[in-house]
Amino acid sequence: MNGEPARENAPAEDWIRRTWLVNGREVSLRVPPLRRVLDILREELGLTGAKEGCGEGECGACTVLVDDQPVCACLLVAAQLPNRSRILTIEGLSAMEEGRILEEAYVEAGAVQCGFCIPGMVMASYALLRRNSAPTERQIREALAGNICRCTGYVKIVEAVGRAAERMGRAAAGR
Ligand code: FES
Ligand code: FES
């Protein structure tokens, strides 16, 4: 969970330097090896879109993409991410056409209520659509199974991902 003393108390001589590509930008930091990537993103880099729900890998609110794969940033520590790892957060995705399409589709489908789960949902949705541009409802549900929404039920979320898939397909065909 957040704030375990051992994690933050590594002596400074044990800290490690890491250089990652965060939302396409090179970022170099010196951090305790066991500092969680979620905390680094939120506290060191000001990228607060990834949320902490459970802190235990159960809710998906902290989902980011690392080298195109969705991961729970609450379970990852700095030492596990080698130099040159590519991290995409909701801030980076929102600046991309695919992110805008997804966010619009979520809003239009009425899939956003309190919004807490949405950054993680959108990241997981994007990861799905990267590998499968026309997913079935079942495939969408499977891809989002690790992301918990306490407000909406999942019908509207599934609808939103379907809408976004169609729009991305149309956008790609029009290029
Ligand atoms: S906060 Fe990471 S999975 Fe819940
Ligand atoms: S919209 Fe509130 S938890 Fe999903």
| 51 alpha carbon – ligand 1 mean position (Å) | 8
- pLDDT, tens only, 126-157: 999 999 999 999 999 999 999 999 998 899 99
pLDDT attached to residue 170: 87
Upper half-sphere CA count for residue 131 (Cβ side, 13 Å): 11
pLDDT attached to residue 7: 57
- Please report the DSSP string for 23-73 in residue order: TTEEEEEEE-TT-BHHHIIIIIS----S--SSSSSSS-TTEEEETTEEEET
For residue 163, name the pLDDT band (cuts at 50, 70, 90): very high
pLDDT attached to residue 175: 74
- pLDDT, tens only, 70-104: 999 999 999 999 999 999 999 999 999 999 999 99
| 80 alpha carbon – ligand 2 mean position (Å) | 30
Q: Which ligand is nearest to the CA of 110?
A: 2
Q: Are residues 84 and 9 in the same domain?
A: yes
For residue 69, name the pLDDT band (cuts at 50, 70, 90): very high
Q: Are residues 83 and 103 in the same domain?
A: no
Q: Are residues 78 and 116 in the same domain?
A: no
Mutate to test the pocket of ligand 1, among 62, 77, 147 (most ligand atoms within 8 A of CB): 62
Q: Are residues 104 and 83 in the same domain?
A: no
For residue 2, name the pLDDT band (cuts at 50, 70, 90): very low
The CATH number assigned to the domain holding 36 equals 3.10.20.30
Residue 74, token pair as written in the block:
């609450």
Q: Are residues 9 and 79 in the same domain?
A: yes
Ligand 1 surroundings by CB, under 6 angstroms: 52-55, 57-62, 72, 74
Give the DSSP H/E element, type plus range, for residue 123: helix 118-131
Q: Are residues 81 and 110 in the same domain?
A: no
The domain boundary, picked from 26, 60, 89, lies at 89
| 174 alpha carbon – ligand 1 mean position (Å) | 37
The domain boundary, picked from 27, 55, 89, lies at 89
pTM equals 0.93
* Residue among 71, 72, 69 at smallest CA distance from 55: 72
Q: Per the structure, how many domains does the chain have?
A: 2
Q: Are residues 81 and 104 in the same domain?
A: no
Considering only residues 9 and 30, tell me which one the structure prediction assigns the higher pLDDT: 30
Ligand 2 atom nearest 112 alpha carbon: 1
pLDDT attached to residue 165: 97
Upper half-sphere CA count for residue 159 (Cβ side, 13 Å): 12
Mutate to test the pocket of ligand 2, among 58, 59, 114 (most ligand atoms within 8 A of CB): 114
Residue 29, token pair as written in the block:
């930091």
| 159 alpha carbon – ligand 2 mean position (Å) | 15
Q: CA torsion sign, 60 to 64 to 69 to 75?
A: negative
Q: Are residues 106 and 72 in the same domain?
A: no
123-143 burial string, b = 16+ CB within 10 Å, else e? bbbbbbbeeeeebeeeebeeb
**pLDDT above 80 for 40:** yes
**pLDDT above 60 for 60:** yes
Range of the domain at 26: 5-89
